[in-house]
Structure 1
Amino acid sequence: MLLTALEVLGLVAFAASGALAAVRSRLDVFGVVVVGLTTALGGGIIRDVLLGIHPPTTLRTWPYLAVCAATALVVFAFHPQVARLRRGVLLADAIGLGVFATAGTSTALAAGTPVYAACLIGMTTGIGGGAVRDLLLREIPLVLRKEIYAVAALAGAVLVGVGHALKLPPGPVTVVAATAVVAVRVLALWRRWNAPVARDDTAG
């Protein structure tokens, strides 16, 4: 029950962040809903395609689609107010990242995927929707440019993989790993940590 509630919270946060980005790019209401849905559900769809699950789980569960579409419409109608809730949206986004990255890893492991591949699939589940969102808006994906985001997702996925290899109880391991992802992400936002980039030796 708790995992489902956190998953829905993550979907709402991802849909809201995608819809806000679409509003800033001056898309119409249809475009805002499409980008919101893509951001929220894209990672799970990529995961299921990689695992050979057809049709993808999120497309067979209509409440997920309804929640994400409704969130995008609310953001479209009240985007100035939603934008002021930036810290809350970022926290919910961190929770969604932790839940999706670790749950995606667990799903891949349950399907018999090797641990190393399951970790990569879990990371992709967490960051995939945001990457597709940025590509739709003709931007270099944020997770490839700055911020400790993909690294946090991969760390959580690796924790789940290690727990699986050590034959630890999957439930507690997933909770601990998701909490670790959220903690790393929130700490990175608070301390303004960024992954290193190559030095530009051509500058002035």
Structure 2
Amino acid sequence: MHEACLASKQPGSHRYKSAKTERPDIPNLLKREFSVTIPNQVWCGDITYIWSGSRWVYLAVVLDLYSRRVVGWALSNKPDSALTTKALDMAWEQRGRPDGVMFHSDQGVQYGSRKFRQRLWRYRMAQSMSRRGNCWDNAPMERLFRSLKTEWIPATGYMNQNQAQKDISYYLMNYYNRQRPHQANDGVSPVTAENRLKIVSGIC
């Protein structure tokens, strides 16, 4: 890196507070069991914010834990339940409307809202939530957003929301899913990892 005049864009380390408080009505069913055996067994979701010229926009993503593949996402100027529900709807449709999925998130109000929980009920999904203030309970999502912001998004953000929409779409659905190697997949992309499973198991 020194010879090529390259500098790391990785941010510094942070100290996170540990907490043990669960929601009594939505327990932490996942319990950091991030290694799953088949696709559509556990999905994770989270929201982050991105600068777009004159305001913040909000990105909701749904990740399949099996291969760390992005299966749904949505961008909006409001961080509300409509945003998270739109990302969930995309994931459910793109993955063939699966049954029996566990959906895990933090305790954000968007994921605890009536609108979002009703959608989970309609899709017959079990809901799991991290303990309050404990980001490690949803570590795969934190890692995805860290990669997005350090590897891809310009340091000054985007000029407008349309530019953000187009560029983030390419990163998530093309580069991240189809090209970027992932340590959890033994160094291959999420799509390659899923294709390997199909070959081994005979799944069409």
- TM-score when normalising by structure 1: 0.31
Higher strand share: 2
Higher helix share: 1
